[in-house]
């Protein structure tokens, strides 16, 4: 899904998230209420040819990183299967934990892009939201 050229074009157009910015709180339709936490879409770019990769991360409120859930949330957001509940201040601790996990997860992509582009790739967040499910 993330390798789809149309999705890649959308990802290129989304501005960076900067820690400290307000965070949307969304309810994802069709997801269990137990699913609550911070979700982030990360982008890795390298070179002038527009070589872009992206991947989602989800950190449950209890501190567990849940990768399959991150992908499911991304699919729901793309389809528009969510409601915006509110806007709140960001959670610096959750962001820091997601950034650490993203750095580890993105390492293989980072190395591949560095080899292909001969420049140092850059990893940064483009979306950071608080997610909760909507059913029992």
Instruction: Break the chain into its structural domains and give their ranges.
Output: 5-135
Three-class SS state of 34 = coil
Tokens linked to 58: 């989800």
Provide mean pLDDT across the span 37-59.
83
pLDDT-based confidence at 111, cuts 50/70/90? confident
Of 96, 87, 111, which is closest to residue 65 (Cα–Cα)?
96
Average pLDDT, the chain: 83
User: What would the pLDDT profile of 62-92 be if each residue is shown by its tens digit?
Assistant: 999 999 999 999 999 988 899 999 998 888 8
pLDDT of residue 71: 94
Model confidence at 127: pLDDT above 70: yes
pLDDT of residue 121: 76
Per DSSP bridges, beta strands 23-32 and 36-46 are: unpaired
Q: What percent of the chain has pLDDT over 70?
A: 79
Rounded-to-integer distance, Cα 7 and Cα 102, Å: 20
pLDDT of residue 133: 94
pLDDT of residue 27: 95
pLDDT-based confidence at 38, cuts 50/70/90? very high
Among 7-16, 85-94, 124-133, the minimum mean pLDDT is found in: 7-16
Provide mean pLDDT across the span 102-106.
84
């Amino acid at each position: 899904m993330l390798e789809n050229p149309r999705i890649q074009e959308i990802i290129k157009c989304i501005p960076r998230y900067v820690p400290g910015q307000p965070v949307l709180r969304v309810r994802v339709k069709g997801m269990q209420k137990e699913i609550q936490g911070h979700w982030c879409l990360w982008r890795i770019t390298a070179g002038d040819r527009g070589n872009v990769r992206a991947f989602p991360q989800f950190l449950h409120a209890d501190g567990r990183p849940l990768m399959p859930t991150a992908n499911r949330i991304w699919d729901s957001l793309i389809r528009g299967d969510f409601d915006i509940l509110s806007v709140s201040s960001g959670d610096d601790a959750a962001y820091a934990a997601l950034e650490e996990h993203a750095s580890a997860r993105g390492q293989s992509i980072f190395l591949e892009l560095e080899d292909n582009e001969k420049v140092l790739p850059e990893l940064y967040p483009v979306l950071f939201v608080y997610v909760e499910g909507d059913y029992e």
